Chains A and B, each alone.
Chain A
Amino acid sequence: MAGYIFRRVLQAIPVFFGTTFLIYFMVFAMPGDPIVALFGDKTPNPAVIEQLRQQYHLDQPFIVQYFLYIGGIFRGDFGTSFSGEPVTQILARTFPVTIRLAVLALIFQSVAGIAVGLVSGLRKGKLFDSSALVVSLILISLPIFVIAYVAQFVFGVQLGWARTTVGPGAPLQDLILPAIVLASVSFAQIVRLTRSSVIETSGLDFVRTAYSKGLSRKRIVPVHILRNSLIPVVTYLATDFGVLLVGATVTEGIFNVPGVGNTLYQAIIRGEGPTVVSFVTVMVLLYLVVNLVVDLLYGLLDPRIRLVK
């Protein structure tokens, strides 16, 4: 196990340098003045430009700039936002809200997705199955901002069941609607994955054996079929984290949830390029860490993975 952890962490190092270098390269190795480019149509105050030049060490050669920037990341310095607040300070304030939203969405999508997928798979070809497939395809086709606006309009404006924007402190009951919206796309994917996995497992020999030795369906479905069908679903939940990050950016923006995603959203729509870069970097690093942790957990749960290679 120690060897597996070591190998996996070692693999993550080039990816860490690669991704940060790519982001940095895209921004600062472009022709022209990167700071002016980042502001687009706006012409920032010369003092702001000068401060950003210093912050990103633009007087140095490119590769030196990059390593100074990496050094900053290791010291926990992700730069300052447009309003002058350190990015880490903003993260400390907004991160707990995003975690709450994301955990809520994860619960919704996995509980509902697995339940619907299981019933669908057990009743393959029946009315419930066909309708679940159609609904999931429609949900996959709807971009998340469309789902968010429809939900906001129907449940918030017309029916008045939920508040259209989240109140100060982001209380849990205000987060329910945004979390359902955030969960909807992955919910559909989980339904489809669980369904096909259940159909596949139901046809396997050990399930037939279980039936032929007289076990009840009540025992076979949860213990034999469901448990063995969940492996691809769990894998999906981990890879889906990137979708969740982008989804959270849009959802938090539309429902005005005071989270990390909303900070990025506000910076994007206001055209505050340097803040956008800082927060995208934070999200990418988060994505790397989550994938690393999930891989390590796999090694812990499934001995086959850590023994291969």
Chain B
Amino acid sequence: MDKAEYQKRARQVEPPRPVARNALFAFLVGGAICLIGQGVQTALLALGYSTETAKAPTAVFMVFLGAVFTATGLYDQLTKFAGMGASLPITGFANAVVAPAIEFKNEGAVMGTGARIFQVAGPVIAFGLLSAFVVGVVRFALQGVWP
């Protein structure tokens, strides 16, 4: 078997990924997380917040939940079967920041936690800033500085 032939054979032996099951769990868990978020927002609205002012505290609360579930070792278990359903919501972002923060504690506060805390979330922040810049430039080209 030459290399190309072997690579082809290796792909054939690979078991198919359980896409349907993954999608179902992602939908259910992702949906449940969003439902909790909606519940928090609805509660804040009942406390007299506006839809605009309720946004930030809702996000803060969900990040807090994600951090607590990460610290107690439950969030990675959840993601194992829910995949993107748990990674994509803002709780998943909290997991991506808190997990390395815990992980690198042994390497010290500065060169460990401090230097590595954005190891996973860093690309999201970097490319988030880049895409915001690009959108800003496009908007400026179309509308000028003042809308």
A binds B: no
Chain B residues packing against A (C-beta within 8 Å): none
